[in-house]
């Protein structure tokens, strides 16, 4: 097992860090799960995503998008809860189109709020680019926060 640094994040940044001996994707019996570096909650991995994505970091990020959409964006769940049909009819278009928009929002928030976790665990822009339906602004943000900071960290470590 490799070292993974888990962070509990707040809107102001890192509150605490703990070094643990775990993989990005944890296993308990036949079930796979993740720990969200933003809220600290454990959640199950998608069996479907596990079947179609072979790269561990890309799989981790795809599962985080689903978790973020359902647990960190209240308006998404409000669409499907009690009286959700009334809530949706005012603004909601095609399901797949709306889901893609929310997923893009989730990707950018994960990159911003989980930046240190992503850097410490070897995530690169290439991992983000392997996800579906990337918008230019998401890739630009990933390049800004992941690629440039990787260079700075490498230079700093080589000094």
Total domains present in the chain: 1
Sign of CA dihedral 13, 111, 5, 24: positive
- Residue range 66-124, pLDDT digits in tens: 999 888 877 666 666 666 666 566 666 677 787 888 899 999 999 999 999 999 899 99
Tracing tokens 């308990």 back to the chain, one arrives at 28
pLDDT exceeds cutoff 60 at 157 = no
Determine the distance from the C-alpha atom of residue 33 to the mean position of all C-alpha atoms in its chain, rounded to a whole number.
Answer: 13
CA–CA distance, 42 with 37 (Å, rounded to integer):
10
Structure pTM? 0.73
Report pLDDT for 96: 78
Burial of 51 (0-12, 13-18, 19+ CB in 10 A): exposed
Structural domain span for residue 138: 3-158
The residue that leads in pLDDT, 112 or 2, is 112
């Amino acid at each position: 097992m490799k070292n993974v640094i888990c962070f509990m994040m707040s809107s102001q940044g890192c509150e605490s860090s703990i070094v643990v001996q775990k993989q990005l994707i944890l296993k308990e019996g036949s079930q796979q799960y993740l720990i969200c570096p933003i809220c600290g909650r454990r959640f199950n991995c998608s069996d479907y995503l596990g079947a179609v994505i072979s790269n561990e970091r890309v799989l981790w990020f795809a599962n985080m998008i689903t978790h973020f959409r359902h647990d960190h964006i209240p308006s998404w769940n409000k669409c499907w809860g009690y009286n959700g049909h009334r809530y949706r009819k005012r603004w909601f278009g095609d399901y797949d189109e709306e889901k893609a928009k929310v997923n893009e929002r989730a990707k950018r928030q994960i990159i911003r709020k989980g930046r240190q976790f992503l850097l410490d665990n070897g995530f690169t822009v290439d991992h983000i680019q392997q996800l579906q339906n990337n918008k230019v602004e998401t890739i630009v943000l990933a390049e800004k926060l992941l690629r440039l900071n990787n260079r700075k960290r490498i230079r700093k470590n080589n000094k």
